[in-house]
Amino acid sequence: MSIHYASELNPEQWEVVRHGDGRCLVLAGAGSGKTRTVVYRVAYLLEQGVLPQEILLLTFTNKAAREMLERVETLLGRHPAGLWGGTFHHIASRVLRRFAAQVGYSSNFTILDEEDTHDLLRASVKALGIDTTARRFPAPAVLRAVMSFHKNAQRPLPEVLEERNAKFAPLAPAIENVMRHYDARKRASNAMDFDDLLLHFLQVLQAPGIAHSFAQQFRYVLVDEFQDTNRLQAEIVSCLAAAHHNLLVVGDDAQSIYSFRAAEVAHILQFPQQAPGTRMFRIETNYRSTPEILDVANAVIANNVEQFPKTLRPVRARRVRPQLVQATSMEEEARYIAKRILELRDQGVPLSEIAVLFRATHLSEFLELELMKRDIPYDYRGGVRFFERAHVKDVLAFLRILSNPADIAAWLRVLQLQEGIGDAGAGDIAERMRSMATAQSGAAWIPWQVSGTTLVLPPRLERGWDAFCRMAGPLQAMGDPAILIRALVRGSYRDHVEATYPNASERFEDIEQLAVFAEQYTDVAAFLADMSLQERFRAERVGPNASERERVVLSTIHQAKGLEWHAVFVMGLNANTFPNRRSVLEEGGIEEERRLFYVAVTRARDVLALTYALAGGRDAGFLAAPSMFLQEIDAGLLEPIAVGRPLGTTAWHRPSASRAITDSDDPIIVLDAQGERMPAPQRPRSFLRDVDDL
């Protein structure tokens, strides 16, 4: 089969494909045909006489590896037997099966999954006799996350703890002991976790003799998504390309968004300086998005300092400007998005071609409720639906107990969260309370006024029960559900979340969002009743045929990377939400947040809407500022839309829009809560001042 490279590729891609030997960096912008370029490069090498076993293609996902290898086979018309291709972990496993003895393992070693890893860590904590009741000790999931970052970033564990989990920094010596015990248990079991695969792979590549053998074998090394490499992976790549120096890395520094996984954008930014003679290619022709969408993307990313300057060039014809939607509240924001989804569906756009993206999972709550009300099926990516999340259920269980002390199911959930009370202990206490409640014969009964001694509990359970009672008593008197929820997070439940979940801060944001929703209620019972009805409402719509229906995609932006849709809504674009609060305190944090926004914008092919809300909850006493990233977009690039009360009313007496809108002569389109157009008021200048005035 003859491949017509020059006619099947654009000039930028063809220049990369026919590149000869040596190191090169390919900067491939979003939607520029990066995968196509890599596939044709591999095919070109094979047609030039390079043996399949002399080529190594490294990817970051199994899906990408499969797609590239299948496309190479289709392009060539034959299977390139012997070609090495796969993820870092896949290639590591393959090499270690052959050289396991070099790192003290047998070739039949086991690869531990996440559950296995947590079980071994739990066993190590127990074997070391660490008292996890006197003070909250990190749960296996938290330990695993800290250790993984430590290994992949190649940084000391105490330093990682201080930076990422400061609460547990004083426990660094104990955590290091757990890690050593855990590593010894794995070795004794002839087992490795995912991080071990990379660590031991690097050890093999650095071993005398073996290192030279592998470096000689792979004449050409290609690495996809190079901007996502961590320090450990970067060292592996260097070893693999050490002999021939024919290393081609493909990536886009503007899409480096995984620092929380130890990825470092510096690896791609510094690549040209690491060896003289490194060539750099740019692929900037975008086949995905309309010119109007690319104008927005280019405007935003241009504000980053630490980057390779780039401009995505469109090939598609002009259509409509992206919308900038300002809503009076998060409820209005959700209603507008839901209504637009239905309009797009009526225009023939499949629901599966519509996505709503957000910076953090807590932002989906109001939208999920609105979609359920309108019977719009959705597929949640990047996590669990809002009301199904463990921490949300925990908080609701607390409220259920305060509202109805006879709710045994809620008791079982809440008691297990208390220090020193496990599954069996929770069941024991619940049974004793049930018996005591029965003995009361319907009289008013307040369980947390009953001491552990009265319940005749063993000492360990008595301590946990009495601690719970000290917390529950003051809470019951609060009454207001929003106040109750926020009080819970200030108490011992906060310690539980921080010790149990690696992403504790995101879970606290979810709980705060639940509190915002609860501000609509003054009574706990009414709030819980509505929550129960929402759950039933959701269950009725996720029936046996739900999977067969078209679904809107709800996703975090991180989960959406590499994907595209006809229409994309990016919601929750408020200051302190996007960029994330923590990013302000981290070196390079704002620039990574801007890259994340760039990724969100470039997921859209035809329709893009950027939305934010002026207020977070009922009777909010302040107006929320829009994201700084919206200020960086020239007003003429966006169609401004205000949803809710007309601009200029007393509800909007404070400035909250960006300077970018100030000089625009475009009429503001004002919609009511149902999405119908209202007469547009004169643009109030005070409303359109810089957010710095807030």
Q: What is the pLDDT of residues 290-335, one digit of tens each?
A: 999 999 999 999 999 999 998 999 999 998 999 999 999 999 999 9
Enumerate the H helices of 218-265 as residue ranges: 231-240
Closest CA to 690 of 572, 571, 575: 575
Contact 574, 365 (CB under 8 A): no
Show Cβ contacts of residue 135 under 8 Å, excluding neighbours closer than 6 positions: none
Q: Give the per-residue pLDDT at 455.
A: 57
Residue 118, judged by CB atoms within 10 A of its CB (0-12, 13-18, 19+), counts as middle
Show Cβ contacts of residue 501 under 8 Å, excluding neighbours closer than 6 positions: 139, 141, 142, 391, 507
* Angle between helix 291-301 and 589-601 (nearest 10): 180
Closest CA to 259 of 297, 319, 306: 306
Show Cβ contacts of residue 384 under 8 Å, excluding neighbours closer than 6 positions: none
For residue 562, give Cα distances in angstroms to 33, 314, 524: 11, 18, 43
Residue 688, judged by CB atoms within 10 A of its CB (0-12, 13-18, 19+), counts as buried
Show Cβ contacts of residue 100 under 8 Å, excluding neighbours closer than 6 positions: 106, 107, 109
Specify the DSSP class assigned to residue 598.
Answer: H
Residue 238, judged by CB atoms within 10 A of its CB (0-12, 13-18, 19+), counts as middle
Q: Give the per-residue pLDDT at 437.
A: 61
End-to-end CA distance of the chain: 65
Q: 532: which 2 tokens?
A: 């129960």
Q: Give the per-residue pLDDT at 282.
A: 96
For residue 683, give Cα distances in angstroms to 336, 469, 624, 687: 21, 56, 19, 8
Contact 550, 400 (CB under 8 A): no
Contact 187, 158 (CB under 8 A): no
Query: What is the residue whose two structure tokens read 């463990």?
Result: 390
User: pLDDT of 118-128, one tens digit each?
Assistant: 888 988 998 99
Claim: this prediction has a pTM higher than 0.85: no
At residue 180, what are phi and psi to the nearest 5 degrees? -65, -45
Q: Give the per-residue pLDDT at 257.
A: 95
At residue 609, what are phi and psi to the nearest 5 degrees? -130, 130
Q: Give the per-residue pLDDT at 680.
A: 43
Beta pairing, strands 552-556 & 279-283? unpaired
Beta pairing, strands 247-251 & 24-28? parallel
Cα–Cα distance measured from residue 554 to residue 363, given in angstroms and rounded to the nearest whole number: 11
Cα–Cα distance measured from residue 686 to residue 137, given in angstroms and rounded to the nearest whole number: 51
Ranges of the chain whose pLDDT falls below 70: 1, 133-135, 382-383, 406, 408-409, 420, 422-423, 432-478, 532-549, 616-622, 645-694
Beta pairing, strands 677-678 & 669-671? antiparallel
Q: Give the per-residue pLDDT at 645.
A: 60
Specify the DSSP class assigned to residue 675.
Answer: S
Residue 395, classed as helix, strand or coil, is helix
Q: Give the per-residue pLDDT at 473.
A: 61
Closest CA to 562 of 68, 222, 225, 72: 225
Beta pairing, strands 354-358 & 313-314? unpaired
Q: Give the per-residue pLDDT at 452.
A: 52
For residue 413, give Cα distances in angstroms to 50, 399, 400, 423, 572: 61, 12, 11, 9, 32
Q: Give the per-residue pLDDT at 213.
A: 82
Beta-bridged to residue 313, according to DSSP, are 285
